[in-house]
Chain A
Amino acid sequence: MFLIALFLYAPIITLIVLSFNSSKTRAKWGGFTTKWYVSLFKNDAIMSALFNTLLIALVASLVSTLIGTIACISIMNLRKKTRSLVMGVTNIPMLNAEIVTGISLMLLFISFNFRFGLGTILLSHITFCIPYVILSVMPRMAQLDPHTYEAALDLGAGPVYGYIKVVLPEIMPGITAGFLMAFTMSIDDFIITHFTKGAGVDTLSTKIYTEVKKGIKPEMYALSTIIFLTVLVLLLLVNYKPADRKKPAGKEQSA
């Protein structure tokens, strides 16, 4: 258990330590410094890659959540055969190798004369994000008691009002989970972006890839440290919010 934790964290700890190492070679400890952080923030290429990454992740996850959720309403109402066909197609981007999805989209964009750039990355990201949204919204929809929606209509709610007031809050956890999953998938993606980005446009992942191929610069360690800490804080916030409500139960058990 401890060994596996060590295995998981040793690289990360190393990165953090090296980010404060003033010596350029990682073999030697040259004293504590924060200069790599300063030069990281002065590096325009990395900063614009960071901006691109966040922009793409936000837009792609919003669009895919919208399209995916609405699609779920439709899929639920399909006949069984059509539905399994649609779900089969939905599964393709998740089961297929990312490299194949990447090159297939690249071929599409080339054949239809798309201009490679942020736009093509965005289209690709939406494509692989929608299935994750559908996958997390669908079970919620299926669990839904069909009578609650009917009860809303029965009490005088129109179809749209009924959906917003009764169905939407019920499937909201699924939608949120789908959105978050889409967001992280988009942020973390390298392979598909690698094939669908144009020259000169970079996301954080593709930027790191080219940098690492050239030889790792200490700024990369600083970047890793910042990303790790951000993720840590975000996850702590997300995880401990619902835990607060359950606190009494948790305390009893640990006592």
Chain B
Amino acid sequence: MSKTLIDLQNISKSFDGQLILDDLNLYIKENEFITLLGPSGCGKTTTLRIIGGFETPEKGKVIFDGEDITNLPPYKRQLNTVFQKYALFPHMNIKENIAFGLKIKGKTQNYIDDKIKYALKLVNLDGYENRMPDSLSGGQQQRIAIARAIVNEPKVLLLDEPLGALDLKLRQDMQYELIRLKNELGITFIYVTHDQEEALTMSDTIVVMNQGYIQQIGTPEKIYNEPENAFVADFIGDSNIIRSTMVRDKLVNILGVDFECVDTGFGTDKPVDVVIRPEDVILTEINPDDPKGKIQGVVSHLLFKGVHYEMEVQANGFEWHVQSTKCFPVGTLVSIDVDPFNIQIMNKPEFEDEEALKIDE
């Protein structure tokens, strides 16, 4: 088990009287790829900026390697940031951009030259020393921004939606690149994004945030398969979130039909939310004259998505979102079933308000 590197304790921050972070507690371990994920305005960027030293929290402490750095200015912190839209210095060439931090630290010219070479090689852009930032493509500028940060050998690299400005294909390439970099450098990455796919692909740990609160912390698998509340379930991937009743341990009533499940400890006859991923819904075509299966429904929409088909099925007053490799044309009568371990039970929020925390994108 690696040690804790950054510890955020009871952080609160507001802008113009609006609370952005409310009593946030989070620790980040050494060598971790941790992603802060959430819709815009959830406080993820503010959290990153507090770690980077660009904002000071009103309450709470930032502990870095056992030291309180809450009021330390950014230029005295041992971490570096890769900014949204890169923030390269437009009047300096690539070499000067990368050398910026090293020159301030008073490194020798030889050391700086070696470092530039090493960093450019690392980001696959050797030979670009004398180019100007605006002559580079978005993806290349992105790599330079990373190179500029890592030559300073930070213990932590902060990345603020670094892929946001790139197009889809490039974004996917850069995801692999970032994982490779992280493994080669062996440092901590704190990554901020609103893109759940990015988060799932790259992270060791995902922190899902909404409206200044942490909703769930866990591995990508855990976040995806076992969302703790409706917000997480809704935000991470597609899902069917259905109001149901927990009949007793390992039995849940969904839309009037009892399903076996694996969860326990929710009490008896308690209202709960059930999350079922679209790819976990099993459809079977049935004969109209001989209806069987747990829930019957009719396919109302069909879309071909390449790897799979996406369908909507009207059944028991609910619109089921279904992904399947098999095609069921619109109008087909189908039965719906779900394996017990694919039914995820969530406590219903105590206030209706809390449930209303929807994605505002």
Contacts and interface: CB of A to CB of B under 8 A. Distances in A.
A161 B104 contact: yes
B80 A150 contact: no
A151 B75 contact: no
B87 A155 contact: no
A49 interface: no
Contacts of A147: 83-85, 87
Given A157-B75, A169-B91, A170-B91, A152 B100 contact: yes
A166 interface: yes
B90 interface: yes
A157 B91 contact: no
Contact of A150 (B74, B88, B101): B74
B100 A155 contact: yes
Interface string B76-94: 0000110111011111000
B73 A151 contact: no
B44 interface: no
A154 interface: yes
Nearest to A166: B89
Contact of A148 (B52, B53, B87, B104): B87
B105 interface: yes
A151 B83 contact: yes
Interface in B47-104: 52-54, 73-75, 80-81, 83-85, 87-91, 100-101, 104
A151 B84 contact: no
Contacts of B73: 153, 158-159
A151 B152 CA distance: 13
B104 A145 contact: no
Q: Which of A156, A159, A169 has the most CB of B within 10 A?
A: A156
Contact of B104 (A151, A156, A169): A156
B148 interface: yes
Contact of B152 (A155, A159, A161, A169): A155
A153 B294 CA distance: 62
Nearest to A151: B87
A149 to B, nearest CB: 8
Interface in B83-137: 83-85, 87-91, 100-101, 104-105
A251 to B, nearest CB: 21
Q: Chain B contact residues (Cβ within 8 angstroms of A): what range? A: 20 to 34
A154 B152 CA distance: 10
A143 to B, nearest CB: 11
B87 A145 contact: yes
A153 B73 CA distance: 8
A155 B90 contact: no
The residue among A148, A155, A169 with the most chain B CB atoms within 10 A of its own CB is A155
Contacts of B88: 148, 151
Interface string B28-61: 0000000000000000000000001110000000
B348 to A, nearest CB: 42
A125 to B, nearest CB: 31
Nearest to B158: A154
Contact of B101 (A155, A158, A159, A170): A155
A151 B85 contact: no
Contacts of A162: 75
Q: Which of A153, A157, A159, A162 has the most CB of B within 10 A?
A: A153
Nearest to B98: A155
A156 B104 CA distance: 7
A154 B90 contact: no
A153 B101 CA distance: 9
Contacts of B83: 147, 150-151
A175 to B, nearest CB: 13
Given A156-B101, A156-B104, A156-B105, A151 B89 contact: yes
A161 B88 CA distance: 16
22 contacts: A145-B87, A147-B83, A148-B90, A150-B81, A151-B81, A151-B83, A151-B87, A153-B73, A154-B52, A154-B74, A155-B80, A155-B101, A155-B104, A155-B152, A156-B75, A156-B104, A157-B75, A158-B75, A161-B104, A165-B100, A169-B91, A170-B90
Given A154-B52, A154-B74, A157-B75, 16 more contacts: A147-B84, A147-B85, A147-B87, A148-B87, A148-B89, A150-B54, A150-B87, A151-B81, A153-B53, A153-B73, A154-B53, A155-B101, A155-B104, A156-B152, A157-B100, A158-B75
Q: List 9 A-B pairs, minimum CB-CB distance, nearest first.
A: A155-B101, A147-B87, A147-B83, A153-B74, A151-B87, A169-B91, A156-B104, A148-B87, A154-B81
